[in-house]
Amino acid sequence: MTPSKATTDERQTSLSEPIIIPRPDHPISRKKIAHNAIKILYRLKNSGFTAYLAGGAVRDMLLGLTPADFDIVTDANPKQLKRLFRNSRIIGRRFRLVHIFFHGHNRSTPQIFETATFRRPFTLEHDDAESIKEQPNLANNLFGSPAEDAGRRDFTINALFYNIADFSVIDHVNGLQDLEDRIIRIIGDPDTRFAEDPVRVLRALEFACRLNFTIEDETGKGLKAQAHALAGVPASRLREELRGLYTKKTTAALLSLGDHYQINHHWLPDQIANNTAESIPLLQTVENFFPRLDNDNELEKMTITALLLPGILKEYPLADEVRLNLVQEKVEEWLKPISQRLSLPRFQRHAIKEIFTLLYRLGRGDKRINQLLNRDHFFAALFFYAVITKATTPRPAHFSFWRQQGKRLNRNPGARKLDYGALFGKPEKKQTGTPAKTQADKPTGEQK
């Protein structure tokens, strides 16, 4: 994926008059919008407020995709929203937002709709600099017009509005043209906007990968120049941003594009950033094998393990003679910086260390299948064992044992209906005159 030819200077990202696309000329239908989002929009409209769908939902529906979320923006302030919707709460320190939630009969967790007030940027002409200095969060909570709100958003394709009043699409920043041209373009001066919020660097890569768009030249130069500021992003926010990648299956592509722009070392520990050429294919295998789980904790532990594994394997290849205690010490050493960088909780650190322990037990020829199947992270370790040893020449002797266990493994509840047997390939057909199975080939720990 390479940057496009267009530049920021060639196309304005601020229009004097918005482009308005009437309902007959765009594909967004109320049938495609969540029922509860429609209820919110109409209650706001009927109460005299302006109410728009905003951001990714509008972008995705214009592209023919199904939105994951429906964000709403309005001229009602948070206190007015709280009075209008009893099923809501005001949240956020940096940005004051309102979450409106609906409990359904078939949902264990409520359906939440993020609702924000139109905002404008801080200006010396209109705002008291001393007040902002004393309360910095005020700069993020200055209410404004729809045009000002669109100008504050990150990329042109994310600044489109759908107006419930007349079902039109409203574009203040030339986002419709960029959507048609399949371009990621930041709104405003790239250096300034990326410096304001360095996480936009990763978001630019994410959208380019997820939508298969190209990054516009000046946007690409800006993200590369400001990527160093990612080192200062709080670990909790960085983890939250990355967890969104796992279920979208774009982590491998993002790392590849990050290599293209030479920025991965700004947000990943050196041990991992130096091994992305080996970890990217491994991540692609993870993304291809595992479904888009609702539980992104599962995908997080697999992703972090895949990032660590190539470097660990260079020092300690899977082999019978490897000392497990040395491997565990190396995993502990390499896990610490990525854990600090992403604020990994203790249960995830424990899970990743357990995966490595089980993986190297398998690599040493451990066939105590009953005992191994009782371990929580056995199937995660088995996945990496299969992928690594299948690509090894010659394959270790115990590879054929686990390949022959394919059907049994798939029947186990821990497999979660995934075909682990397929990771090993089909068992080789026995040749005529093949020696009988020896005791060493049999599972150990079995009940007779």
Catalytic center residues: 69, 71, 154
Phi–psi pair at 97, nearest 5 degrees: -125, 170
- Parallel, antiparallel, or unpaired for β 168-171 and 183-184? unpaired
* Contact between residue 93 and residue 82 where contact means Cβ atoms under 8 Å apart: no
Burial of 37 (0-12, 13-18, 19+ CB in 10 A): buried
CA atoms within 13 A of residue 135's CA, in its CB half-sphere: 9
* Contact between residue 257 and residue 280 where contact means Cβ atoms under 8 Å apart: no
Q: How far is CA 400 from CA 108, 390, 420, 441, 442, in A?
A: 43, 10, 14, 9, 11
Cα(363)–Cα(356) distance, integer angstroms: 10
Geometric angle at alpha carbon 251, from 286 and 378, rounded to 5°:
30
Exposure class string for 159-169: b at 16+ Cβ within 10 A, else e: bbbbbbeeebb
* Contact between residue 290 and residue 299 where contact means Cβ atoms under 8 Å apart: yes
Cα(243)–Cα(202) distance, integer angstroms: 12
Give CB contacts under 8 A, 24+ apart, made by 139-142.
Answer: 140/94, 140/95, 141/95, 141/96
Cα(194)–Cα(230) distance, integer angstroms: 10
Cα(77)–Cα(115) distance, integer angstroms: 10
Burial of 40 (0-12, 13-18, 19+ CB in 10 A): buried
Cα(121)–Cα(54) distance, integer angstroms: 18
Cα(31)–Cα(297) distance, integer angstroms: 32
Cis status, amide bond into 394, omega within 30 of 0: yes
For residue 291, give both structure tokens.
């479904």
- Parallel, antiparallel, or unpaired for β 183-184 and 214-215? parallel
* Contact between residue 351 and residue 299 where contact means Cβ atoms under 8 Å apart: no
